[in-house]
Chain A
Amino acid sequence: MRLLTERLGSRARDLWTDEDTVEIQVDGAANVEVLRTLRDDPDLEFFFLTDAGAVDYGIDAHFEVVYHLFSWKHPAWLRVRARVRRDDPRIPTVTDLWEGAMFHEREMYDMMGIVFEGNRDLRRIYMSPDYRSFPQRRDFVLPDDAADSAAAGVNPLERPETWDLERFRQAPGVTFPPSEFRPDAPAEGPPSGVQDGRTLADKSRPR
């Protein structure tokens, strides 16, 4: 820990430790230098990036990109928390230091919308390329049914207005006799979902 304060100087703030983890906070723009120092310094030698994830602290607060590192020389995990602004979420990429951060950063971009400057392949990895929201943000609310979500509706399956209901309208000229219980009622058509004797089970191919 003393080593950390020595080597990183003013860039590391708010050191905290547990028996298991040491945590430092850095500013978003300085993350690459800090991680480079941590990796290359012969006394620190945090050679393995075990995890890179993002946290969203709320609509009015900030994002955080959290890196976890491992070193043979130190028994505890090192956690580096880099603060990112929420309205313009940009942070330099660490793929120059560890190539294995590429998928981590793509996932953070896909789920949170954090843009990694300098990343050569910043595209969506989990969702479809034309998906428009960032699912793990705090303002993306999970509904009980995906179709009701305000942020969903990118797929036609989630948008009721794209469902083809023409097939379920009754064909013209077909009338049914009025019910025996209400002899004056007008003729009602076949139940919805039935057209020309075919049922909803035929949805799988266009007719």
Chain B
Amino acid sequence: MDPKGELARVETAIVVPDQAPDDALLREFGMEEHPQGGFHGLLEVIPTKADYVLDLIRANSLWPLLSGLSCCAIEMMSTATSVNDIDRFGMFPFRASPRQADVLIVAGTLTTKMAGPLVRLWEQMPEPKWCVAMGTCTTSGGRFKRSYSVVQGVDRVMPVDVYVPGCPPRPEGLIYGMMKLHELVKQRRGHWSTYVDRGPQRTRWEGDVR
């Protein structure tokens, strides 16, 4: 691999951070040695924590857009009403206008005629926005796999963050999907994080929903 010993004679630079980061958060997220993670003064503490708090705020008040198309919409409404309540997660206001909504829960079969208006709704939503494909019709076409007018999965027309399978998924299933979405939002792991460069992803791979 190195017959002339050239590589062995190169001195590798050793990087020593000038301040040992002693923040538990940085260690938790594995960002101690990251150039954007180390502490270089008070001014860096606030944006890092503020980013985290911003993500917490986003996650805990995701406002869904009323885009119930079909049977899954009834289960989505059932999730939103008293017995399985997602108001406890901050998602009570199902906004009618896309301009005020954060997450588009596509609930129901997407047909080729409806694909245009749905994509227009998606484009009208301001960022940050996430998309949840609820039910098998939006995941892959579902039971209408061979139909001439069903879009085989909503990810053919828009980027999806969470897929919730089921026909229709139980309200508990949809809540689990929203918990996964919370995780994505807090870790900046969804498709939205590929649009803007806000720094590295704070991914935790061990453990589950928190």
Contacts and interface: CB of A to CB of B under 8 A. Distances in A.
A and B touch in the complex (CB under 8 A): yes
A157 B112 contact: yes
Contacts of A17: none
A203 interface: yes
B82 interface: no
A142 B148 contact: yes
B194 A201 contact: yes
A127 B113 contact: yes
Interface residues of B, number: 21
Nearest to B190: A201
Secondary structure of the A contact surface, majority rule: loop
Given A157-B115, A204-B158, A143 B146 contact: yes
A16 interface: no
B195 interface: yes
A146 interface: yes
A202 B195 contact: yes
A54 B119 CA distance: 34
Interface string B150-172: 11100011110000000000000
A146 B159 contact: no
Most buried by B among A151, A199, A204: A204
Contacts of B119: 204
B157 to A, nearest CB: 7
Nearest to B119: A204
A204 B146 contact: no
B147 to A, nearest CB: 7
Interface string B106-120: 000000110100010
Interface in A142-200: 142-146, 149, 151-152, 155, 157-158, 198-199
A146 B122 contact: no
A145 B152 CA distance: 8
A57 interface: no
A149 B148 CA distance: 8
Given A155-B112, A157-B157, A204 B122 contact: yes
Contacts of A198: 194
Contact of B147 (A142, A155, A157, A203): A142
B195 A146 contact: no
A202 to B, nearest CB: 6
A92 interface: no
Contacts of B113: 127-128
A140 interface: yes
A144 B123 contact: no
Interface string B168-209: 000000000000000000000001001100000000000000
Contacts of A135: 148-149
Given A157-B112, A157-B115, A203-B159, A146 B194 contact: no
Given A128-B113, A155-B112, A202 B159 contact: yes
A143 B146 CA distance: 6
A73 interface: no
A128 B149 CA distance: 10
A202 B151 contact: no
Interface string B124-149: 00000000000000000000011111
Contacts of A128: 112-113
A202 B146 contact: no
Contact of A142 (B122, B146, B156, B159): B146
A36 to B, nearest CB: 36
Interface of A: 126-128, 135, 140, 142-146, 149, 151-152, 155, 157-158, 198-199, 201-205
14 contacts: A126-B149, A128-B112, A128-B113, A142-B146, A146-B148, A146-B149, A158-B112, A201-B159, A201-B194, A202-B159, A202-B191, A202-B195, A203-B159, A204-B123
Given A135-B149, A146-B152, 15 more contacts: A127-B113, A127-B149, A142-B146, A143-B146, A146-B147, A146-B149, A146-B150, A152-B148, A157-B115, A157-B157, A158-B112, A199-B194, A202-B191, A202-B194, A204-B122
